[in-house]
């Protein structure tokens, strides 16, 4: 009879699939499914290999009867939400932050967002110029480059460090024959996990007609152009440089701005990003160039600029016919007005009506998209003046916040309005640049 082998440590060294099975140690195995190591009191606490126990059936026996309810036990996690509002060049501080929307604190830690002087060549104050809150960080056009020499940059802030994600180095339009650096990043938007970036660059059939739409996959880091560029040089799109965007019915809609004052030239194009190689013109005869796009109650809305003969307007797109109709008309022509900042808050669509003459700076609201009212008269009630152009809107703790830019890059007359429980309050005045968003951070 063969000698008895006593192996008290079988399996304690785990699975070995590299060594020849005939050469394995006594404590190794080639497979150990449904096995676990437990302290065995019979061997003085030495580890022994045991069969893993199964789950006890909650309903008597497995797969019999019905489970009619359950409850979830989330991990104990705390998140801190902080509003960030960009500042310009008045001092070394780059942002103001607030965790409650009413008390604001200066900080110089995040890298600065692009200030108004970075848009000097572009000569336009009515593009969307939004920043983006995505996952647990903020993305925005950075200020750390020399205009006309270096490419504009996209910056990420995660609450601890600022990182340059990419530089928009390659001009997208074939009409930019000199390959001159891009003027500016004029809008940002996130849809389907991608960051979309609008640029304005030299070239085109006029100074203000050239640009491109780019998509940045934030997981892979791949940056690519969406469809064709804008320039008016065939086969590229004419009608202005991209100025604002919205994601609607699976398509990216882009409003154009050519800085012309002719009536009836407002143009919006659309495409399925990543699929279409050309843009489809959705409309080309709105009363003025387009400054803002937003989605509300299943419909797409556009805010336009005033022209030489028509006032600033808000248009609504029919979701069935695809036609556009004006639902709000402003105070008059003059080519120095626009409706911007289309944003949804608490089942209401908001916009800002800005007209430089007088001035008129009103926060507008609509519960149905058709009937519009003045929610706040900022020039009459809050001291707003010409040059306090509307920036961006953001919601924190069920309160809406709207930032208005300072009149110059060094002035401290920008301000933030807060709507809470139906009441508007001017919560801060400073050297604001127009971008505002909420950073979400996990603290525990």
From 1-15, 132-146, 241-255, 299-313, the region with the lowest mean pLDDT: 1-15
From 21-25, 99-103, 186-190, 413-417, the region with the lowest mean pLDDT: 21-25
Q: What is the pLDDT of residue 20?
A: 72
CA 324 to chain CA centroid, nearest Å: 26
Asked whether residue 302 is domain-assigned, the answer is yes
Q: What is the pLDDT of residue 46?
A: 57
User: Does residue 7 have a pLDDT over 80?
Assistant: no
Q: How many domains does the structure of the chain reveal?
A: 2
Q: Which of 271, 286, 301 is a domain's end point?
A: 286
Q: Which of 261, 286, 311 is a domain's end point?
A: 286
Query: pLDDT digit string (tens) for 331-366?
Result: 888 889 999 999 999 999 999 999 998 899 999 999
Q: Which of 381, 399, 420 is a domain's end point?
A: 381
Asked whether residue 68 is domain-assigned, the answer is no
From 171-175, 331-335, 399-403, the region with the lowest mean pLDDT: 171-175
* 186 and 223 part of one domain: yes
Asked whether residue 52 is domain-assigned, the answer is no
* 329 and 374 part of one domain: yes
* 145 and 264 part of one domain: yes
* 131 and 216 part of one domain: yes
Q: If pLDDT is split at 50, 70 and 90, which confidence band does 205 have?
A: low
Question: Averaged over 184-200, what is the pLDDT?
Answer: 93
Q: If pLDDT is split at 50, 70 and 90, which confidence band does 201 have?
A: confident
Q: What is the pLDDT of residue 99?
A: 97
* 128 and 266 part of one domain: yes
Q: 295 pairs with which residues across the strands?
A: 300
Q: What is the pLDDT of residue 42?
A: 53
pTM of the complete model: 0.82
* 311 and 339 part of one domain: yes
Return mean pLDDT, the chain: 89
């Amino acid at each position: 009879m063969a000698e008895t082998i006593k192996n008290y440590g079988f399996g304690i060294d785990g699975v070995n699939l590299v060594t020849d099975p005939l050469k394995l140690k006594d404590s190794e195995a080639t497979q150990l499914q449904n096995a676990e190591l437990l302290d065995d009191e019979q061997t003085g606490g030495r580890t022994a290999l045991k069969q893993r126990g199964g789950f006890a059936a909650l309903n008597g026996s497995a797969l019999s009867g019905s489970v009619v309810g359950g409850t979830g036990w989330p991990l104990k996690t705390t998140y801190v939400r902080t509003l960030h509002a960009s500042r310009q060049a008045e001092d070394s501080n780059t942002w103001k932050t607030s965790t409650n929307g009413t008390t604001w604190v200066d900080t110089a830690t995040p890298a600065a967002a692009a200030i108004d002087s970075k848009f000097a060549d572009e000569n336009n104050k009515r593009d969307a110029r939004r920043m983006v809150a995505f996952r647990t960080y903020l993305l925005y056009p950075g200020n750390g480059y020399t205009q006309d020499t270096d490419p504009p940059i996209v910056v990420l802030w995660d609450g601890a460090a600022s990182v340059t994600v990419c530089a928009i180095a390659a001009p997208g339009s074939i009409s930019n024959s000199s390959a001159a650096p891009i003027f500016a990043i004029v809008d940002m938007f996130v849809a389907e996990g991608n960051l979309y970036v609008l640029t304005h660059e030299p070239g085109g059939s006029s100074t203000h007609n050239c640009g491109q739409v780019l998509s940045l996959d934030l997981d892979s880091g791949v940056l690519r152009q969406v469809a064709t560029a804008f320039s008016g040089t065939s086969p590229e799109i004419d009608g202005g440089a991209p100025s604002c965007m919205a994601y609607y019915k699976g398509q990216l809609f882009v409003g154009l701005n050519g800085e012309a004052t002719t009536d009836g030239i407002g143009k919006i194009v659309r495409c399925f990003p990543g699929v279409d190689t050309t843009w489809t013109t959705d409309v080309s005869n709105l009363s003025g160039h387009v400054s803002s796009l937003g989605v509300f109650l299943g419909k797409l809305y556009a805010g336009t600029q005033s022209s030489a003969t028509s006032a600033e307007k808000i248009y609504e797109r029919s979701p069935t016919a695809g036609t556009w109709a004006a639902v709000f008309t402003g105070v008059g022509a003059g080519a120095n007005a626009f409706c911007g900042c289309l944003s949804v808050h608490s089942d209401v669509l908001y916009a800002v009506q800005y007209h430089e003459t007088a001035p008129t700076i009103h926060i507008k609201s609509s519960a149905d998209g058709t009937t519009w009212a003045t929610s706040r008269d900022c020039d009459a009630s809050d001291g707003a003046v010409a040059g306090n152009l509307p920036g961006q809107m953001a919601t924190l703790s069920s309160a809406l916040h709207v930032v208005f830019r300072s009149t110059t890059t060094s002035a401290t007359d920008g301000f933030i309005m807060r709507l809470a429980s139906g009441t508007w309050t001017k919560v801060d005045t400073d050297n604001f640049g127009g971008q505002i968003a909420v950073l979400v951070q996990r603290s525990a």
